[in-house]
Amino acid sequence: MEEEHIGGVFLSDTIAAVATGGGVSAIGIVRVSGSDALTVADNVFCAACGVRVMDFECRKMYYGEFRDCQVCQRDGSSDTKVCQENRPSDTLIDICLCTISRAPNSYTGEDTVEFHCHGSSVVLSEVLRVLFKNGVRHALPGEFTKRAFLNGRMDLVQAEAVIDLIEAESPAAAQNAAGQLHGAISLKMDSAYNRLVDIMAHFHAVIDYPDEDIDEFKLQDYLKTLKDIDDEFRRLLETHDRGKVLREGVPTAIIGRPNTGKSSLLNALLGYDRAIVTEVAGTTRDTIEEKILVGNVLLRLIDTAGLRSTNDSIEKLGVERTLAAISGAGLVILVLDGSEPLKNEDHDALRSIPPDVPKIAVVNKSDLPAVLTVNELAELGIENCTISALSGEGLDSLDEEIQKLFPVFKQNTACDLLTNTRQAEAVSRAKNSICSAITALTATITPDAVLIDLEAAIAAIGEVTGKTMREDIVSRIFERFCVGK
């Protein structure tokens, strides 16, 4: 730990950063972590009750003054408080709250101090400046959580859940991340890891002491354990597609022939005029993407150029992008104009959607006299709902249809979906090695072959939880974090 360093800075340094979001807010929190955290805090914070920071009770809030002490060298033997010394050179920076946690029972596993200040960016920068003057350095992105990981306060799945929780864009995604932070996936990984290590230990013994043998009973036991883990991993991997959608949102292409009201629908769902709407057919050329929560479902809406054959080279490029958006979509909303009969271009648009992609036909312009008949709609053979993007009528029923299609976003359903591609890839490798071990065990018992597979599986699981991870990969993971986390 002492020697551990990233980018030339040592992890044994005491670090500080603003832990709360930017902009003006009622409260802004500056977090300090490291072996000097309490000493430095004692130099700059003076509790109104007279207790020195070093003597604070953990996780109790103390009200007091944060001061830029010019001298900053209090006599350790003296009980005199800075405030009472009344040095004219001390500058009052803020009247705030201070709380401490002592190693190892803190987020990072180190001595930690938090100053709950007034949420002004000037005050917070001043607080940081004073801390830096006292020998603290600025934390790197994710450094607090990285220290928590390196100090064994959480594993890598939980550390990644921290950033997922901060960045969650739907209640269900937040809930799933909280579940992972709580250990939903880590527990599964640790249990598989321990069972594999037990089997591996026995196989090592067999190799080291050739007289030792594996009896048939034990062999069947091992096979069952390996098959159980294989099954658990298969079920976990099956959650990854849903988990990815939960984390990233459903890519949703709004398509249709020109002028049916695709851009109007985008604007109506967003609640503001994002896309240009005109009566000119072919208004939208490029794709326009925006995220939105429909009920609890996170959609990545993509408004597209109207689908029609055209000689206009720009519109042609737009149509190509529409087709690309359809091929990557998890949901396609086909917008039809209810005030006109169905046209060939409507059928062409429907045909452009791959059969396995969920789709909804939105019959727009319900404020105008209806021309499109129920029979014509039935012939299309897809779920439909009638709306007016202009007046907003019917948007509720569209919301309901979308929520029905993506139950993964329902709250209280998700807490252990595999959302992270890095983790999924490692679990998949572990599963492959376990499958090979099962084959090796069932075919001929060659302990060396089984061992190689078991070791590979254990290493892959170790990558998921961070037990066996290369420093550069760990660094890359924590670079995704914001400063202060």
Ligand X SMILES: Nc1nc2c(ncn2[C@@H]2O[C@H](COP(=O)(O)OP(=O)(O)OP(=O)(O)O)[C@@H](O)[C@H]2O)c(=O)[nH]1
- Positions touching Mg ion (CB under 5 A) are 262-263, 283-284
Contact 367, 391 (CB under 8 A): yes
DSSP 166-219: HH--SHHHHHHHHHHHTTHHHHHHHHHHHHHHHHHHHHHHHHHSTT----HHHH
Partner touching 388 among ligand X, Mg ion, none, CB below 5 to 8 Å by kind: ligand X
| Binding to ligand X, residues 216-235 (CB under 6 A) | none
Of 239 and 364, CB closest to ligand X: 364
User: Which one, of 17, 93, 449, 423, lies nearest residue 233 by Cα?
Assistant: 423
Radius of gyration, alpha carbons of the chain: 30
The runs of H, that is alpha helices, within 47-112 are 82-85
User: Which one, of 205, 194, 204, 198, lies nearest residue 221 by Cα?
Assistant: 198
Of 103 and 380, CB closest to ligand X: 380
Closest distance of CB 252 from ligand X, Å: 15
Give the binding-site size for ligand X (rule: CB under 6 A): 23
When asked if residue 31 is in the footprint of ligand X (CB under 6 A), the reply is no
Closest distance of CB 337 from ligand X, Å: 8
When asked if residue 252 is in the footprint of ligand X (CB under 6 A), the reply is no
Which of 108, 134, 388, 419: binder of ligand X (CB under 6 A)?
Answer: 388
Give the position of tokens 């603290």: 136
Closest distance of CB 265 from ligand X, Å: 7
Burial tier of 193 (Cβ tally within 10 Å: 0-12, 13-18, 19+): buried
Stretch that binds ligand X, among 168-176, 230-238, 360-368, 418-426 (CB under 6 A): 360-368
User: Which one, of 8, 117, 133, lies nearest residue 66 by Cα?
Assistant: 117
Which of 186, 264, 384, 433: binder of ligand X (CB under 6 A)?
Answer: 264
Of 314 and 368, CB closest to ligand X: 368
Of 81 and 262, CB closest to ligand X: 262
Partner touching 329 among ligand X, Mg ion, none, CB below 5 to 8 Å by kind: none
User: In sequence order, what are the beta bridge partners of 46?
Assistant: 65
Closest distance of CB 256 from ligand X, Å: 6
Stretch that binds ligand X, among 86-94, 204-212, 261-269, 322-330 (CB under 6 A): 261-269
| Binding to ligand X, residues 272-311 (CB under 6 A) | 277-279, 281-284, 306
Partner touching 368 among ligand X, Mg ion, none, CB below 5 to 8 Å by kind: ligand X
Q: Where are the beta strands (DSSP E) in 265-377?
A: 288-294, 297-303, 331-337, 359-364
Amino acid at 110: E
Of 43 and 284, CB closest to Mg ion: 284
When asked if residue 318 is in the footprint of ligand X (CB under 6 A), the reply is no
User: Which one, of 440, 444, 472, lies nearest residue 457 by Cα?
Assistant: 440
Of 180 and 260, CB closest to ligand X: 260
Contact 192, 225 (CB under 8 A): no
Stretch that binds ligand X, among 81-89, 218-226, 259-267, 425-433 (CB under 6 A): 259-267
Stretch that binds ligand X, among 30-38, 96-104, 343-351, 364-372 (CB under 6 A): 364-372
Closest distance of CB 397 from ligand X, Å: 14
Question: At 26, which helix (H) or strand (E)?
Answer: strand 25-33
Helix (H, G, I), strand (E, B) or coil at 365: coil
Which of 101, 134, 180, 259: binder of ligand X (CB under 6 A)?
Answer: 259
Partner touching 259 among Mg ion, ligand X, none, CB below 5 to 8 Å by kind: ligand X
Of 127 and 265, CB closest to ligand X: 265
Give the position of tokens 């290369």: 470
Partner touching 281 among Mg ion, ligand X, none, CB below 5 to 8 Å by kind: ligand X
When asked if residue 260 is in the footprint of ligand X (CB under 6 A), the reply is yes
Helix (H, G, I), strand (E, B) or coil at 292: strand
Stretch that binds ligand X, among 86-94, 112-120, 183-191, 257-265 (CB under 6 A): 257-265
Of 283 and 352, CB closest to Mg ion: 283
Supply the angle between the helices 171-181 and 240-248 in degrees, to the nearest 10.
120
User: Which one, of 311, 233, 14, lies nearest residue 136 by Cα?
Assistant: 14
Of 250 and 288, CB closest to ligand X: 288
When asked if residue 43 is in the footprint of ligand X (CB under 6 A), the reply is no
Contact 246, 437 (CB under 8 A): no
Task: Give me 405's structure tokens.
Answer: 């299609």
Of 110 and 315, CB closest to ligand X: 315
Which of 150, 390, 452, 474: binder of ligand X (CB under 6 A)?
Answer: 390
Cα(485)–Cα(457) distance, rounded to whole angstroms?
Answer: 31
Strands in 288-294's sheet, in edge-to-edge order, are 288-294, 297-303, 250-255, 331-337, 359-364, 384-386
Of 22 and 392, CB closest to Mg ion: 392
Residues that bind ligand X (CB under 6 A): 256, 258-264, 277-279, 281-284, 306, 364-365, 367-368, 388-390
